[in-house]
Amino acid sequence: MADESNGGGGGFGWFILGGLIGLVAGAYIASGPGRSQVDSFKSKTIELSGSEPVQKAREAAQRARDMVTDPDHPVGKAIQDGVAAAKRKREELESAAARKMRQTNGEEGES
């Protein structure tokens, strides 16, 4: 069996450390040259948005969107089947919960 006394707050410590790093990075950016830094980021973004890797990524994203929305494509069909199954399961769970509530309310009314 694992020793549970050592793993209790590790995640919270990493969360705090990440917040501190974000705070330091934000303070550094805010204290920098400001407007010229923003202009530099903007020009780099515009420069990179027309690059070949970005164009390939956009094309791949469009192909993925087409696959997902096409009901004849296996991926689109699988997504539609999954959505239909989720709806059926939700209806089953809602009706089971309603039956349970009726049973609970019926038992309380008899007491």
Residue 54 resides in a domain: yes
| Structural domain containing residue 52 | 34-110
Q: How does 94-107 read in b/e, with b if 16+ C-beta sit within 10 Å?
A: eeeeeeeeeeeeee
Contact 76, 67 (CB under 8 A): yes
In the chain, the percentage of residues whose pLDDT exceeds 90 is: 23
- What is the value of pTM for the model shown? 0.42
pLDDT-derived band at 88, boundaries 50, 70, 90: very high
CA distance 86 to 80: 10
Q: How many domains does the chain have?
A: 1
Burial label for 79, CB within 10 Å (0-12, 13-18, 19+), is middle
Residue 4 resides in a domain: no
Q: Give the least confident one: 4-8, 23-27, 97-101.
A: 4-8
CA distance 25 to 31: 10
pLDDT-derived band at 35, boundaries 50, 70, 90: low
Residues 45-87 pLDDT 10s: 777 777 788 788 888 999 988 888 888 889 889 989 999 999 9
